[in-house]
Amino acid sequence: MTEAEWAYLAGLIDGEGSISLSHTVILRIGNTDMGIIGWLIDRFPDAKVAKANSNTSYGHKLCLNVRWNGRNAIEVLTHTLPYLQSKKRKLAGFALEFLGYVDDSHYLKPEKQEAREVLKEVAAIINSN
């Protein structure tokens, strides 16, 4: 992707995305514009896509989430981090650090458990504001 596309993606994350830390990192962008969803799927065919709302009656538009879990989020977070402007910039940094506490076999390094729990707590505080 071009730098302009990474910057555009950062704007989508800032405005429509969420970054959460639980047992893993979840990066999600929700949108009702199928052109934007298509743009994301074209560039990230391995990303997961799911309906965000189950009730499209009563005039609600269909909303889809494009989601990256765990190590699949590393490329997106690494490339968009310099362009993020909202609280998502801190969250992306925490998420990358969080993912660094897992070894190549996807197991948590025992000596990093406490630090990872602290990152989860800080991320939860940032997300609640």
Residue 122 identity:
V
Residue 25 sits at the vertex; the CA angle it makes with 89 and 41, to the nearest 5 degrees, is: 85
Q: Which fold has domain 3-128?
A: Endonuclease I-creI (3.10.28)
**pLDDT tops 70 at residue 65:** yes
* Closest C-alpha to 120, from 107, 112, 79: 112
pLDDT value at position 75? 94
Distances 94 to 14, 15, 66 between C-alpha atoms, Å: 15, 19, 20
pLDDT value at position 92? 96
* Closest C-alpha to 92, from 9, 30, 2, 5: 9
The percent of residues in the chain predicted with pLDDT above 70, rounded, is 89
pLDDT value at position 52? 83
Prediction pTM value: 0.85
| Dihedral angle, C-alpha 10, 11, 13, 16, nearest 10 ° | -170
DSSP string, 23-38: SSEEEEEEES-HHHHH
Edge-to-edge, what's the strand order for the sheet holding 17-21? 17-21, 25-31, 64-69, 48-51
* Residue boundaries of the structural domains of the chain: 3-128
**pLDDT tops 70 at residue 114:** yes
pLDDT value at position 61? 85
